[in-house]
Amino acid sequence: MPFPVSLATGPIPITTVTTPPAVDPDDVSLVGKVFQAEGGNLIEIFGHCNANSGSLYLLRNFSDATGKTSQWYPVDLDANDVKKISVDTTKPTGNLAGFFSGSWLAGDAREGSGGTYVVLQIGTATFDHLYASSRRV
């Protein structure tokens, strides 16, 4: 399977990072964590939290053409912290407890302006299911 994996292949299982990576997207330490999406697509992160709680953030890679280590930046993060996905094994309540979903727009409306992404986890939540997918918008 190519690495990083493209979301064009359908939903893929992923794992999170707990700090922004200090490596390029093709570093073997990111296998199972890094994925690509084409511009004009909606990236959706969804799954089920089976213990504890926390927050998930989408990070995009910006490679430096000078050969320096690439850098990872949050997508759509503002001072109000509104684009995080809150995850909690007890919320919402009832049969949906622990389930979550959140989405971001990848790149702009041009199909070729996609990017490479990872999901940053803050907190102690654990997951029995965590996926990334994309949809054309």
Phi first, then psi: what are they for 81, rounded to 5°? 60, 40
- pLDDT tens per residue, range 93-108: 999 999 999 999 876 5
pLDDT tier at 18 (50, 70, 90 boundaries)? very high
pLDDT tier at 67 (50, 70, 90 boundaries)? low
pTM over 0.85: yes
Sequence-separated (6 or more) residues with CB below 8 Å from residue 131: 11, 12, 13, 14, 45, 46, 47
